[in-house]
Structure 1
Amino acid sequence: MAASRQITSMEVKTSEDHLKVNKMKKKVLRKQVRAQHTLMRHEGIDCVSHATQSLVIANAGLGNGMSRCQLLRILEEYGLVETLLMLPNKPYSFVKYGTTEEAKKAFDALNGKEVTLEDFGQNIVLYINFVEKVFWQNAAPASLPPGLMVIEKIISPEEEKRMLECIDWIGDEDTENAEKTLKHRRVKHFGYEFCYDNNNVDKEKPLPGGLPEICGLFLEKCLKQGYIKHKPDQLTVNQYEPGQGIPPHIDTHSAFEDEIISLSLGAEIVMDFKHPDGHTVAIMLPRCSLLVMTGESRYLWTHGITPRKYDVIQASELGPKVGTITADVRDLTLNRRESRTSFTFRKVRRSPCNCIYPFVCDSQKGQQRQVQPSFPHNEMEASKLEQEYVHKVYEEIATHFSSTRHSPWPQIVEFLRSLPKGSIVADVGCGNGKYLGINKDLYMVGCDRSENLVDICGEKNFQAFVCDALAVPIHSGSCDACISIAVIHHFSTAERRLATIRELARLLRPGGTALIYVWAMEQEYKNKKSKYLKEKNGSRDKEEEISTGTAQRPPSDQLPASSSQDSACSDQLLSDTKDEGGGAKPVADSRLPVHTNRTSFHSQDVLVPWHLKGGTKKKGGSVDTELFPAGSKESQEISPVFHRYYHVFCEGELEAMCRSLDCVRVQKSYYDQGNWCVVLEKL
């Protein structure tokens, strides 16, 4: 009996152990599936259920602190690693093994495994899925910004030591060679003090003592080698501890001459350069190297150091030690920052800057006044206006524009999800393809006038092509549905707007439906303000220009429903927009007004500003802190601005335009947060 009772007890214990193991396996499986869904939803990574040579490893990436060296050690225990791909700022990695069996062995051993990040002391759990292929861009290194050079080993370690020792951070606190401890770094000025309140120097108040004596020989060397044309008379010394940085900025044009040189001492670091079109280049600045900025790189590109304790760099000793960091994404790793000191030399400018970049030049502000275009009076003028103030603008701002397009609008999503499975849908004016992937049960194709926006769709693996909304190269009657979101208001005459709606109807089969959104002149409807009017920071994504600090879809002040402006709108419907010659009726003042953001619309036909790289909302308006540091005088007065043509629709105008077509009927007409919207059906 005793033996029997003992066996029963052991069986119970074994059963409990099995339950615990099964419970853990189920937990890992749930999190693995959740990781799979997250990867697909946010990154577009397709995981598969069958074993392959390639794996995607969630929670093991440069973005969450996993170094290449540590991950390789873990992975190589299970077989030959052919490729390890670690993308900048991503919390996952791809690995390809020599055989499927090795990949399966790693999958079985590592899925749900807890590891400790070496440099962070933090425990993480790996979640692994199979993928068919490991994709990477093995492109040649991106070229440096024009006018930028990095010269390695410009000084010896002995010279570096002497230059660092010449800076007394404590001993001369009482002198006029002021030391400042800024929020993100420690700084000291020589020759002239740089004033951060106006990003300039007082040219009438040089600091006593000039530049440190030890800098003389170094600057003579730079002059002799041709790195600079003018001998600097101003020096800023910055000391950065790990985790510190400097915001993106352009050194004030009126303050300094063309050449700016910066010596990196004590440690290497990655500096980020950004063009106004959004293009970025990460540059490694090795220890004892000299950064030379002239021309475009000095006047147009912002440069800054992101505050962080680790940089993403090339892992291979054989790889380039200087240059762009993303030359080969198969060879990236993390590098712990150390204390770095920079010596930045400049020559104080004594005359106004006359560079070729007036829209970012404080010396030339106000000199380049754009002549406002006139309201178009015929088809040719309308086409030219749209080419200049719609097509060209979206090509210029495409990258930035796309970065503000994140959240789909609920009623548009509802329309797409209500369509039958397998429906063929055309998104005419698809932009960056925000709606092309909403409903996987539909076959959606997009088109847009902007080649750059269509390229962005292609990068997301969406089907899209370039065309004009007035002539879409799709067979008549071949679509079950169409959407046109924030497109028709860019056409500058009533005839062209009507022709666009007629083109949408042509694409539809009988019984097919189309959803159209256009900007509304009324920003308050039925005594209720648009929610975007309430959000003063404009931080939510909106179908048109909702992003912090950009020129946004301009909410209006309160407009009572009975206002004279509404009355004027309601009288100016389709039948009233033609003159005897068949052209559009011009506005009272033939010059198109430039709209002031977040104010009432005073004209239906306006130019709406887009500030290319918006920063933060400041008292007095949107400021461009990508080009000038927040708080500076320049940041409140200068920003690259593009103007886009809009015809804002009055209540009933879009519906009346649709009803004028015999081939469609209006199913629904409604107002949605500053937009007039119509659902029409092909008869």
Structure 2
Amino acid sequence: MRSIAMDSNHQSNYKLSKTEKKFLRKQMKARHTLLRHEGIETVSCVTQILVVANGGLGNGVSRNQLLPVLEKFGQVDALLMPPNKPYSFVRYKTIAESKKAYVTLNGKEIVDDLGQKIVLYFNFVEKAQWKELGLQALPPGLMVIEEIISSEDEKMLLENVNWTEDTDNQNFQKSLKHRRVKHFGYEFHYENNNVDKDKPLPGGLPDICDSILEKWLKEGFIRYKPDQLTVNQYEPGHGIPAHIDTHSAFEDEIVSLSLGSEIVMDFKHPDGVTVPVMLPRRSLLVMTGESRYLWTHGITPRKFDTVQASKSYKSGIITSDVGDLTLNKRGIRTSFTFRKVRQTPCNCSYPLVCDSQTKEPPPSFPESNEEASQLEQEYVHRVYEEIAGHFSSTRHTPWPHIVEFLKALPSGSLVADIGCGNGKYLGINKELYMIGCDRSQNLVDICRERQFQAFVCDALAVPIRSGSCDACISIAVIHHFATAERRVAALQELVRLLRPGGKALVYVWAMEQEYKEKKSKYLRENRIGQGKKEEIRNDASMQELLVEQMPDLDNQDSASSAPCISDSQKGGCNSRKVTNSELPIHINRTSFHSQDLLVPWHLKGTPGKDKPTVPFDPVGSHDPSPVFHRYYHVFREGELEAACQTLSNVSILQSYYDQGNWCVILQKV
């Protein structure tokens, strides 16, 4: 294809074909996207440097694929490939060479390692620019020991794992759909990253591990002899959600042996710093201290890892040298993770995140699906019917990442907003055909008043044909379901609606407010003077978490001492008794200290549709406004990803944190 992205005088000499017009639109779109999302400004004059849209590590193009294509048109001084970005920069020796590459390669297709065709779009820039990652070091207490065992020992260990034996064997975990796993000594429970200390598995650790562990002890690589082992086998493209092994479950030291293939594991500090760590084949990862207790560790589901092209990494660090990064195709990896079960409470130096040292009241969960449904009826469905008008008045500003997701969908896409509320997102992209549904009749009525398509239904049973939607969104909905099974069922219902290749965006409240939102109004406003509280209450632009401030309660000065609503105590909306329900009431604008709780909504407004059927908050408020309590399950980091990975027909395209929410983008496969 000849280039048509030249100056306007050149273009005026002939009439553009339909194909050329289409290409020009795509090239302009690529230029606009680079400027809008990355701040990369292209220029119309010819320079030595080109930005290559669609040609980056972030969309599966490796250095080994791109460099030979570029070198056909001249001497490449530098090929800069920023990590996780779908673009790169190439600097040629001369302007003539860069112009030749621009004219010839614009719109050229290349095939990535997965066999998918990718079209490259070129533009001139005056300088290469990207956001620096900065210098990184291994998290404190983390150590990577390379070549810890020989290739002969590796072969022996791998052959000793029998994956074909009867699946009823106690050492075989058959509930994980994305990887094979065996447990020895004790079964590791993924739902809480813990073990049942009273139920050891028969047989202990495999005998083949004894000599290896003794050698590591003797050489000082480990301090304890483990009594628990989990063996995971990962296919390329699979991973494990970010998590911290429960403090009270295991001793300080957790070690993992990587066999069969290398992998990049991401370590994340609560303040947002992420360190990608290369775990070479036959290496041992040792986590102690801060890296074990405070940093999460996980493996992002993908088929390629960003690594050093020269293999010059040291001690597991992936550097930010964009002139030396490429993609490495994953192979089948088997990990042997050893732990020692703790018999005494944890006394680590991180009490805020330590389950042994926090004074969190034990949550009480519904004992059946029927009880969960009843709890949701009382503390979710009925509450939203009462507060619909006031709730809608505080929900008018769309969040940028959700808008970005909707505007990136192809024109004409059919999109379902499951739990649409007042329809805030139904009119964002006029090129889409969007339909909303919600459990609240009053909220759906508001949608219809705004001329949006919406209907009433339960998010667990949406009356839309399977496989008919190009995309779905679920914003601040799934955290209202009272059991893990119902939350997974809600995710599965979203996937059912999608066509193959369709995408779903899911937002749920995050528990980690204290670390993630150090400057958040949600936490900060709890410390302001009383004179400002009314002003904040009536600020309709508050984000989702800025719910109304609960009235002061007697003898209550922290969330850990919050009262509970139980069988003998009625809720703020005159709720009927909920069997076996004992949930703490959250103090708004404070950190979460329990995952399952009741969040107060202080109703404001004039009598009418939203006037409640009961008078005041029964806990002793002097404020004449009624207080309603909504049930929430706030998600820990990695929990939403883990729930998604129990689904057999989806892949996780992206997971991130946004304004107090954990978020994922799923794709149906």
TM range (shorter): 0.5 to 0.7
CA offset digits 1:297-347 (Å, max 9, x no partner): 111111111111111111123x21652324312221111111110000011
1:608 counterpart = 2:644: no
Provide the identity percentage: 57
Query: Quick check: 1:140–1:327 contact (8 Å CA) kept in 2?
Result: yes
Alpha-carbon separation, structure 1, partners of 2:640 and 2:524: 37
Inter-CA distance 614–104: structure 2 relative to 1 (3 Å threshold): farther
1:93 counterpart = 2:88: yes
Alpha-carbon separation, structure 2, partners of 1:145 and 1:280: 10
Structure of greater Rg: 1
Of 11, 36, 46, 1:41 maps to 36
CA offset digits 1:617-671 (Å, max 9, x no partner): 9995243421667889xxxxxxxxxxx9xxxxxxxxxxxxxxxxxxxxxxxxxxx
Inter-CA distance 234–86: structure 2 relative to 1 (3 Å threshold): same
Q: Partner letter of residue 305 of structure 2?
A: D
What pairs up with 1:166-565 in 2 under 5 angstroms?
166-171=160-165, 173-317=167-311, 319-320=312-313, 322-366=315-359, 492-493=528-529, 519-521=536-538, 544-546=542-544, 552-554=545-547
Q: Partner letter of residue 111 of structure 2?
A: L
Alpha-carbon separation, structure 1, partners of 2:95 and 2:256: 50
Of 54, 57, 80, 1:59 maps to 54
The CA deviation at 1:359 is: 2.1
Query: Quick check: 2:523–2:590 contact (8 Å CA) kept in 1?
Result: no
Alpha-carbon separation, structure 2, partners of 1:87 and 1:613: 39
Query: Quick check: 1:487–1:518 contact (8 Å CA) kept in 2?
Result: no
Alpha-carbon separation, structure 1, partners of 2:336 and 2:138: 21
Alpha-carbon separation, structure 1, partners of 2:306 and 2:595: 26
Query: Quick check: 2:524–2:589 contact (8 Å CA) kept in 1?
Result: no
Query: Quick check: 2:45–2:124 contact (8 Å CA) kept in 1?
Result: yes
**Partner-residue secondary structure (3-state), 2:226:** coil
The CA deviation at 1:492 is: 3.3
TM (norm. structure 1) is 0.56
The CA deviation at 1:112 is: 2.1
**Partner-residue secondary structure (3-state), 2:337:** strand
CA offset digits 1:504-525 (Å, max 9, x no partner): xxxxxxxxxxxxx9633487xx
Query: Quick check: 1:151–1:290 contact (8 Å CA) kept in 2?
Result: yes
Query: Quick check: 2:278–2:317 contact (8 Å CA) kept in 1?
Result: yes
Alpha-carbon separation, structure 1, partners of 2:58 and 2:640: 27
**Partner-residue secondary structure (3-state), 1:90:** coil
CA offset digits 1:152-188 (Å, max 9, x no partner): 0000110000000111112354543334351221100
**Partner-residue secondary structure (3-state), 2:252:** coil
Alpha-carbon separation, structure 1, partners of 2:593 and 2:126: 39
Alpha-carbon separation, structure 2, partners of 1:70 and 1:162: 36
The CA deviation at 1:486 is: 10
Alpha-carbon separation, structure 1, partners of 2:522 and 2:635: 25
**Partner-residue secondary structure (3-state), 1:130:** strand
Alpha-carbon separation, structure 2, partners of 1:298 and 1:286: 20
Alpha-carbon separation, structure 1, partners of 2:596 and 2:102: 44
Match of 1:106? Answer: 101
Which consecutive unaligned segments of at least 5 residues does structure 2 have?
1-12, 362-398, 405-423, 425-518, 564-570, 574-586, 600-629, 644-659, 661-669
Inter-CA distance 555–77: structure 2 relative to 1 (3 Å threshold): farther
The CA deviation at 1:406 is: 5.3
Match of 2:636? Answer: 625
Q: Partner letter of residue 235 of structure 2?
A: E
Q: Partner letter of residue 520 of structure 1?
A: R
Alpha-carbon separation, structure 1, partners of 2:180 and 2:402: 40
The CA deviation at 1:122 is: 2.0
The CA deviation at 1:73 is: 0.7
Alpha-carbon separation, structure 2, partners of 1:331 and 1:486: 42
Alpha-carbon separation, structure 2, partners of 1:144 and 1:617: 39
What pairs up with 1:563-578 in 2 under 5 angstroms?
none
**Partner-residue secondary structure (3-state), 1:323:** coil
Alpha-carbon separation, structure 1, partners of 2:348 and 2:107: 58
Alpha-carbon separation, structure 1, partners of 2:555 and 2:633: 28
What pairs up with 1:654-669 in 2 under 5 angstroms?
none
Of 121, 135, 149, 2:143 maps to 149
Alpha-carbon separation, structure 2, partners of 1:335 and 1:206: 39
CA offset digits 1:169-210 (Å, max 9, x no partner): 123545433343512211001111123344322222222221
Which consecutive unaligned segments of at least 5 residues does structure 1 have?
1-17, 369-403, 412-467, 469-484, 499-516, 524-542, 547-551, 558-564, 566-586, 633-643, 645-683
Query: Quick check: 1:137–1:329 contact (8 Å CA) kept in 2?
Result: no
Alpha-carbon separation, structure 1, partners of 2:597 and 2:556: 31
The CA deviation at 1:24 is: 3.9
The CA deviation at 1:227 is: 2.3
Alpha-carbon separation, structure 2, partners of 1:173 and 1:486: 48
CA offset digits 1:87-114 (Å, max 9, x no partner): 222221111112222111111111222x
Q: Partner letter of residue 109 of structure 1?
A: T
Query: Quick check: 1:222–1:228 contact (8 Å CA) kept in 2?
Result: yes
Inter-CA distance 631–166: structure 2 relative to 1 (3 Å threshold): closer
Inter-CA distance 300–545: structure 2 relative to 1 (3 Å threshold): farther
Q: Partner letter of residue 625 of structure 1?
A: R
1:78 counterpart = 2:82: no
**Partner-residue secondary structure (3-state), 2:589:** strand
CA offset digits 1:557-584 (Å, max 9, x no partner): 9xxxxxxx9xxxxxxxxxxxxxxxxxxx
Q: Partner letter of residue 324 of structure 2?
A: D
The CA deviation at 1:28 is: 2.7
CA offset digits 1:584-612 (Å, max 9, x no partner): xxx8979777699xx999xxxx8612569
TM (norm. structure 2) is 0.57
**Partner-residue secondary structure (3-state), 1:194:** coil
Alpha-carbon separation, structure 2, partners of 1:203 and 1:493: 48
The CA deviation at 1:23 is: 4.4
Q: Partner letter of residue 156 of structure 1?
A: S
Alpha-carbon separation, structure 2, partners of 1:613 and 1:65: 40
